[in-house]
Each structure stands twice: as C-alpha cells, then as structure tokens.
C-alpha cells in the first residue's frame, strides 16, 4: 500500500504575523484556500523546490481564543493513500480507532499512540461511498 506525505497543519492566531515568520525561514506561499462557509483560510507554504512538503497554516476568521495556551497549534499530519478503505481496514484490524471514518471515500482521521492526529486522504478522485464506512459514526475527536 503506497503512502505519500502531504503536509503538516498548524493553527495560527495572526495569519499575517505567522506568514511573515515562515517567510523569514525561506518558505513561500504555494496555495491558498478561503472557505466562506467554514469561515477559515488555509495557506500552504513550502521551501522553494520542495512544494510537495508544505506546512498548512489554518486561520479561523472568528478567532481562536484558546491559542496559544491550549496546545492546539499543531493540528495533524496528512498522508495521501492509494485506497482509503483498504488503509482504514488495515488500521482497524491492527487495533487503531478510526476517529473520523472515510464516509465520503476521501478523508479519514486516526490518532497515533501519542495522540497525534493523522489525516488520511484518498489520492486522486474520492472512492464511491461504501459500507461499513458510509454509516460509521465518529469516535472521539481528531
């Protein structure tokens, strides 16, 4: 089963200040997503020539008063997988809890033994909805 590193996500309280910091490190913006419905902005920054290894800055438009004291800066690791259903099935058989099942055939979340949130994303097009995933509820948080 192929796995591909995608990105690391961190939550930020001040998007402009955070971007300026990462730009001082030599990272440049490679992609931006503005989500009006979810009221957040995602900015991906990477070193030149390493665009495949970005850091994702997640900025919540309505603020995030818990930052920086609530340890929510670090969000998750993200990996692309060949078949999200096969990967989740393999993880479940090994005793891993699927915190957010891939109901949409595209995205799932699990946690490492150290409670690190890991996002799994289907490489390419989403798979058609399938059971048991389509009706599986969330477990815990991610």
> Is 34 a residue of the active site?
no
CA distance 28 to 19: 9
How far is Cα 39 from Cα 6, in angstroms, rounded to an integer? Answer: 23
Which residues fall within 8 angstroms of residue 141, CB to CB, at 6 or more apart? 99
Q: Point out the catalytic residue in the list 34, 51, 119, 125.
A: 119
Residue 88: closest CA among 75, 63, 106:
106
SS3 (DSSP) at 119: strand
Which DSSP category does 55 fall into? E
Pure H helices in the chain: 15-24, 84-93
Catalytic residue numbers, as ranges: 119
């Amino acid at each position: 089963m192929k796995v591909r590193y995608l990105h690391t996500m961190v939550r930020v309280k001040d998007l402009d200040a955070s971007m300026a910091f990462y730009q001082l490190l030599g990272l440049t913006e490679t992609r931006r997503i503005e989500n009006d419905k979810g009221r957040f902005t995602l900015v991906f920054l990477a070193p030149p020539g390493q665009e495949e290894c970005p850091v994702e800055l997640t900025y919540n438009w309505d603020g995030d008063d818990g930052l920086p004291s609530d340890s929510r800066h670090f969000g998750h690791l993200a990996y692309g997988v060949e078949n999200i259903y096969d990967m989740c099935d393999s993880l479940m058989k090994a005793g891993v809890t699927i915190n957010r099942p891939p109901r949409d055939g595209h995205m799932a979340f699990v946690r490492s033994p150290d409670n690190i949130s890991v996002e799994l994303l289907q490489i390419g097009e989403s798979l058609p909805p399938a059971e048991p995933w389509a009706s599986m509820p969330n477990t815990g948080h991610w």
